[in-house]
Amino acid sequence: MTAAMLASLVLNYEHLSDPKYLLKVGVIIQATKGNPEFGVFPEHGSPEKLEEKYNQLKIAFEGARDKSRSMIKLRNATRKETDGILYTMGHHIQSHCQGNEESLRKSGYELRIPRGAGSARTLHPPAQPSGWLVEQGASTQLKFKVPPTRGAVFCEIWCTEGDPSIEENWQYKGGFTEFEGVLNSFKKGARYSLRARLVGKAGAGDWTNTISIVVE
């Protein structure tokens, strides 16, 4: 099997209802926590971190049933944070397993099996976006805009307050189908580095240039 034909994990579960989403997160925790087959996870994308969010999700989902605006807001925010952990863990597992289908199946994630090379046209990840913007929003917020290229379904935003040359420092801030939005929870006076990439049906494209900004 060539590199282009390797099995991969489904990393996006936004389409699942709250009960099915919670079930999927629980399955992934059981499959990965303490499992040496997947190596050492990054601290911000570990089964332990996912389990912490899982417990918060149960409370948030229950509260959102009463249609409380504050609880719905908490549910949405917690689920988005959980999406980021699932994404980071999934990328780690894929990198560690190097397309080994048997190992990937043990992760609890859904598996994406490519069709034969002759059965479908070749798809390519979206081209690298140019001229993306990051600017100060309201206090401790940053606004961004990523110009989409052909085949892009959404964009990812990653940031770090640490050394941007160290890959492990980067943290997932979210995926955005609108290609623009507002990022929250930054520390006032701190300098952050941000980068983005477009994601399509064939996977993620190349990173943008890194933008450094001091939050006001």
Q: What is the CATH number of domain 133-214?
A: 2.60.40.10
Domain with CATH 2.60.40.10 in the chain: 133-214
Alpha-carbon distance of 78 to 57, in angstroms, equals: 6
Give me the tens of pLDDT residue by residue for the chain, a chain 216 residues long. Answer: 444 457 788 888 888 888 889 888 998 998 999 999 899 998 889 999 999 999 999 888 888 887 778 888 888 999 999 999 999 999 899 888 887 888 888 898 888 776 654 444 556 788 898 889 999 998 899 999 999 998 888 888 999 999 999 888 888 888 888 899 999 989 999 999 999 998 877 677 889 999 999 998
Q: Convert 172-204 to b/e letters by CB count within 10 Å (16 or more is b).
A: bbbbbeebebebeebeeeeebbbbbbbbbeeee
Number of neighbouring beta carbons within 10 Å of residue 162: 12
Phi, psi of 62 (to 5 degrees): -65, -45
